[in-house]
Structure 1
Amino acid sequence: MHKCITINIIADGFRLNDAIHSEYVLQEKEKHTRLTDVLEIHFLDLLAAKRAQEAENEGSKRSQLINWLKFIGTGDKEERAMLATKSPILKMLNEKVDILTLSPIERKLYESRMKLKSDIATISESQFNAGRQEGKSLGLAEGKLLGLAEGEARGSHQKALETAKNLLQFGLSVENIAKATGLSQKEVEALYL
């Protein structure tokens, strides 16, 4: 039989004891002999973790467990952010939670920004590679600089277009969008089509 471990996260309305982590095994009622060592039932108490004081050894397993449980148990964005500073994994998880809690409009803007960043990186890389090819005839250092400059210019223009599209959704005038992004009014008007 393979080892089976059950982990239960408990909070309000379910109280076993005052421990943050309780482990149970199956045993015979009268003689208290253990039935098997391949079955464990664990309970992690969010309320007990919330009451726990900061551990002396911040890197200990107990401290890490408490931080995880506090992170899971809180709805406070600031507390989550503070806990995220204690672990790279919690930091990554906090960023994902922040994305999941965005409004539909905010999420659309976020996804647009992420797509833009990816596009800029792709454009920059392709321009860099084109510059590298050109650099073979110009000289390596000059070719790299040329590729980087062209990639940055195209990426900046692409970013301005994406920003303009987002601003159009908010109902800003073509003139104001052109001023804010550095695009011409014709370029902004073309985005309506």
Structure 2
Amino acid sequence: MENFNRLNDLYFKKLLGDKKRKNLTLSFLNGILNKDDKNCFTDISFLDKDNEPLTLDGKLSKLDIRADLNDGTQVDIEVQVCPFKLMAERSLYYWSKMYSEQLEKGAEYKKLKKAIAINLLAFDYLEDEQDWHNIYNLLNEKSHKKLTDHIEIHFLELPKFTLKDMRKIRASEAWIAYFSGKYSKKELEEIAMTTPAIKEAVEFEDTFLQDKIERRAYEQREKAIRDYYSYMSAFKEEGLQQGLQEGLQQGLQRGLQQGLQEGIRKVAINLLKANMSIDFISQNTGLNEQEILHLQQLITK
């Protein structure tokens, strides 16, 4: 299927959020977290978590996969396809919940384990960063030393990703190449030679698309995303037009008011030049005594 969206929430969760394919999830995590064979994660337990509605009708949702790793590390993988300006704040909020939920009331802080948030984004978010993978920790502003290794927040921006050398590809690059949709099946087959998990992902993708029920659900979700963008575009256009109309009306009103005020000033000046009294000028122009005296000073200068 051409233009298959591998970030579709239904597909992504079936690919990396199912215990039947936890080897793929571990491959993805070990690659993104730069783990080698000696310190890699070897097991994962998925935690069910409700999706957060992105629209009032619930057609779109923030997808995340919550899991515990074999050393107790907590991890949250979030996929975001629609641009969202407050990703940092939201990611930190969900990280804090993931971290705090480890402790039951009265438990000791030493039981807390590292919590990692991974944000897989289909849009550019970090304007000042050129790299597709950026990691944030708590650091001292002067010495740049870590306060603790318990917090780690990753941002993976797919539009910034470019594969430089397919022969020297790392596991993290292989996975991002797969999810980016920039590479053909033939290229993915070549990538799979260095990262076998990609071959398994491509095979699962074929199986997924051959299932009529799964494919129908996928297509409905994609339609919901297209409708969302369409509605948002229409709302923005309507808002822009309304704003322009209101701006023109306000500008016209301001122009008329300014013209009227200028006309009244000129009438008052002519009456002053004709030696009319201040009371007479005030009654016929609506200007107060102070405004008329000010005009009189301008005439005499």
Which structure: greater strand fraction? 2
TM range (shorter): 0.3 to 0.5
After TM superposition, the score normalised by the length of structure 2 is 0.29
Which structure: greater helix fraction? 1
After TM superposition, the score normalised by the length of structure 1 is 0.42
Larger radius of gyration: 2
